[in-house]
A and B are shown apart, each in its own frame.
Chain A
C-alpha cells in the first residue's frame, strides 16, 4: 500500500473518528436513546415526560449550532485551522453525547476555545470569554474536560486546506492550464472547504485529500479530474511489469504487480467514484447556505420548534455546566487521594478514614516504615 495511506491510517482521525454512514447513524441513535432513558429517569419523579428530540432533529440542531460556531469564529477573526478544528470538535462531541444532555450554546464556546489551544494558540480564557455576551471564563472552561473526554483525547485534526495548496501547485506544474482559471478554482475551493465539509459529515467518511478533491471538483470539475488522471498516469510502468519473472526478480515483479494495481485504472476509477460521492455530500451545503440557517423565515420555521422542544426535554441536572463542574470538582476533591492510593496494594486495609480525611500519604509512609524494617526486632517468622 502506498505509504501515505498507511500513515493516514495511523492517525486518530482514522482510527477513532472515521465511520461508515451506517456506523455513524447507529451511534447517533444509541446516543439519542441513552439520553432519552437517562433524562426520563431523572424526570420521572417530578413531572410528566416531555417529547424528546429524534436523532434526525438532533442532527438538524447540530448543523445549526455548527454554523453558529463558524460565525463566531469569523467574527473573532480566528485562523481558518482553529475554526475548522473547533467545528470538527463540536461534531465529534455530539456524536457520543446528546444535544439534550449538554447545552450546545455553551459547548460551542468551549470548542472554539479548545480549538485554538489544539492549534497551538493559547489565549487567556478571560479575554476569550469577553468577546461573547454574558460569558465568563468559567462558562467557557466548565465544559472543557467534558469535551476532551468526548473527543476521546484525540486533539489532532487533519484538514484539507494544505492539501488544496499542494494540488494547486501540482496544477501549476502541468504548465498548460491558464493561470486565472487555476486561481479562481483555488479561491472557490477554499471557500467551500471552510464551510461545506464542516457542516456535513464529510470528515467522518472521507480523507482530507478526498475532501479536497471533492471541493476542487465543485469549483472546477475538469481540474480535479486532471489531478487524479495525472496521478494515476504512469507510462513507464508497463515496461517494468513486462520483465520475465525469473527467480531473482520474482519478488520485484510481485512488488511491481502490486504497484501496478495501486496506480492502475481500476484504482483510479474507485478514487474518482469516492471523490464524486464526497462531492455530492458537500454540494448539499454550499458556502452560500451560511446565511440560510438563521434569521430567514424558512430557517426559523425549522429551528424554532426544535429549540422549543429542546428547552422542555433537556437534562435537568447536566444542563448547567458550571454547576455540574463545581459538583464534580467537589466530589473529586474527596476522592482524589483515595484514587491515588488505589494502586498501592492497601485495598484490604482501606477503611473510610483514608478517603475522607485525605491522609493517603500518611498511610503510605506508615506502610513504608513497616516494610523498611527487614530485621524484625522480634525475629523472623517461625
Chain B
C-alpha cells in the first residue's frame, strides 16, 4: 500500500490517522466514465480520499490538486519538471504541470524565480500571457504550477529553422501584434517582464503567441526604490541597463520587443554581443553611440562607457536597407522601439496605436500562421501517443532549457 503514491495520503507526517472523519468540506468528485468502455486503472476510479484530519488549508489544497490528472513527463530541467496533465472531470482539457524542484543552491527558502513567476502570473489574465490555471503543493512539499498547454514550441524555433518555416511580413505583423498586446497588458498592470526574447514567446495550439517565463518579472518600483540592473538576456538588454541604471521603466521591455521584431525580420539575432562591453559596442555600431546630445544625462549613469569613434544615430534609410521587408511603416515602428534614450522610446500603448498595424498587408489570422505541426490538437495528441523515444527526448530537452532560469541568467 505504501508503494502506490496515490493510495495512502498522509494527513500528517507525525501521526497517520486511519480513521476517516466526515469533513464538512468534502466534495465528491464524480469520475467521468471512460469513453471507450475500458475500465479505468483503479487509482483513477477512486477519486475521493477522505479528508481525514486535514486543516481547512490542506483541504483546499487537496481539492485543487485532485482536479488534475498528471500525465507523461514532457521535460526535465534543473529548475522544474514538466508533465502533461488534464482535468479529471474533462480529459479534453489539457494543461502542463510544472513541478518546481527545491533548489539546493538557494538556501533562503522559496527561490525568487518561483516566487516571482507565481506572484505575477496569478494576477495576469490575458490571451497573450501564458495562463496560470492553478497552483497546488504535492505531499513531498513541491510546488506544482498548472499552466496552459502550449504545444507548438516557441518563436525561436520558427525564426531559427529557416529551411523548415517560411513566413512573410503579414506573419511577422501577427506575431508582433500578439507580443505587443501581451507586453502592454503587463505594463498596464504595473509588471515589468524583464526577460523578453524569442524563446520566451510560446505558441498555443491555435497559433496564439503568449508571453511566458515570468521568473525575472517585478512590479513597477516606487520612485525612491532602486532596482537591479542584472536582468534581461544580454542580446535583448537595453543600453540603460548596460550602463547600470537603477531606476528604469517599461522602456526596458520595449527595447527587447524591438530586438525580437528585428530578429523576426532578419532571422538571426540583431545585436549578439558576447560580453556586456561588446553588447554596448554592438549597439553603438548598429544603432548609434549614446551621447549627451541624443540622451541627456547618459554620461552620468554609473556604468557609462563607450569605446571608439562616436557613431551618429542611423536614420531611416539605413534601416530600410536591412529591414525593408516590413515596409516603411514597419521600419518606423522598429526604429521607435530602438531609441537610445528610454524616455523617448515608444511605450507599449503607443506601439499598439502605431499605423503599421492598419497598413497593408493585414496581419495573418492565427489559424493560417506557420506552425510547428499542422492540425493543432489532433496532431498534438498523436505526437504524445507516438512512442519514439528520440523525439520525446528532444522535446524534453527544449522544455527543460526553457525552464532553466539559473542557466539563463548567468
Contact = CB atoms under 8 A, between A and B. Distances in A.
B55 A96 contact: yes
B73 A350 contact: no
Interface in B97-150: 99, 107-110, 112, 115, 118-120, 122-123, 125, 135-143
B15 A42 contact: yes
Contacts of A122: 108, 112
A256 interface: no
Interface stretch (A27-35, A68-76, A234-242, A290-298): A27-35
B84 interface: yes
B109 A336 contact: no
Size bin of chain A's contact surface? 35 or more
B24 interface: yes
B17 interface: yes
Interface stretch (A51-59, A210-218, A221-229, A368-376): A368-376
Q: Max chain B CB contacts within 10 Å: which of A120, A323, A324, A355?
A: A120
Nearest to A155: B119
Given A332-B141, A350-B3, A156 B120 contact: yes
A348 B85 CA distance: 19
B387 A150 contact: no
B3 A372 contact: no
A328 B13 contact: yes
A86 to B, nearest CB: 14
Q: Max chain A CB contacts within 10 Å: which of B5, B137, B143?
A: B5
Contact of B5 (A42, A95, A150, A342): A342
A interface majority secondary structure: helix
A348 B41 contact: yes
Contacts of B110: 114, 117, 144-145, 148
A323 B10 CA distance: 16
Contacts of A118: 115, 119
Contact of B58 (A30, A149, A354): A149
Given A125-B109, A335-B140, A352-B3, A30 B25 contact: yes
B12 A317 contact: yes
B56 A371 contact: no
Given A117-B109, A141-B109, A355-B3, A98 B55 contact: yes
B324 to A, nearest CB: 39
A371 B21 CA distance: 44
B216 to A, nearest CB: 11
A120 B55 CA distance: 30
A130 interface: no
Given A10-B123, A31-B55, A41 B137 contact: no
A333 B3 CA distance: 14
Interface string B58-96: 101100000001111100000001011100000000000
B139 A371 contact: no
Contacts of B388: 372
Contact of B109 (A12, A97, A113, A342): A113
Contacts of A372: 387-389
A153 B122 contact: yes
Contacts of B42: 347
B41 to A, nearest CB: 5
Interface string A1-22: 0000001001110000000000
B3 to A, nearest CB: 4
A154 interface: yes
B109 A96 contact: no
Contact of B60 (A93, A96, A351): A96
A97 B56 contact: yes
A338 interface: yes
Contacts of A124: 108
A324 B13 contact: yes
Nearest to B41: A347
A345 B44 CA distance: 11
Given A332-B141, A355-B3, A153 B135 contact: yes
A331 B357 CA distance: 56
Size bin of chain B's contact surface? 35 or more
B140 A37 contact: no
B122 A35 contact: no
B53 A156 contact: no
Contacts of A233: none
A302 B185 CA distance: 50
Contacts of A117: 109-110, 112, 115
Nearest to A369: B389
B278 interface: no
Contact of A339 (B107, B109, B139): B139
B6 interface: yes
A93 B60 CA distance: 13
B43 interface: yes
B14 A324 contact: yes
A356 B3 CA distance: 7
Interface in A105-121: 113-114, 117-118, 120
A371 B53 contact: no
A156 B132 CA distance: 14
A118 B56 CA distance: 23
A328 B10 CA distance: 10
Contacts of B70: 342-343
Contacts of A333: 140
Interface string B292-330: 000000000000000000000000000000000000000
B268 interface: no
A152 B73 contact: no
Interface in A131-186: 137, 140-141, 144-145, 148-150, 152-156, 162
A231 interface: no
A122 B84 CA distance: 32
B381 interface: no
A96 B56 CA distance: 5
A336 B54 CA distance: 21
Interface string B225-259: 10000000000000000000000000000000000
A338 B5 contact: yes
A37 B110 CA distance: 32
Contacts of A196: none
A38 interface: yes
A329 interface: yes
Contacts of A149: 57-58, 61, 137
B161 interface: no
A194 interface: no
B56 A30 contact: yes
Interface in A299-358: 317-318, 323-324, 327-329, 331-333, 335-336, 338-345, 347-348, 350-356
A373 to B, nearest CB: 10
Interface in B386-401: 387-389, 392
Contact of A335 (B5, B19, B41): B5
B2 interface: yes
Given A347-B42, A371-B387, 7 more contacts: A7-B189, A30-B24, A34-B53, A41-B53, A97-B55, A148-B137, A339-B5
7 contacts: A34-B54, A38-B55, A41-B19, A117-B110, A156-B119, A340-B81, A352-B2
By Cβ-Cβ distance, the 4 closest A-B pairs, closest first, are A332-B140, A343-B70, A352-B3, A153-B135
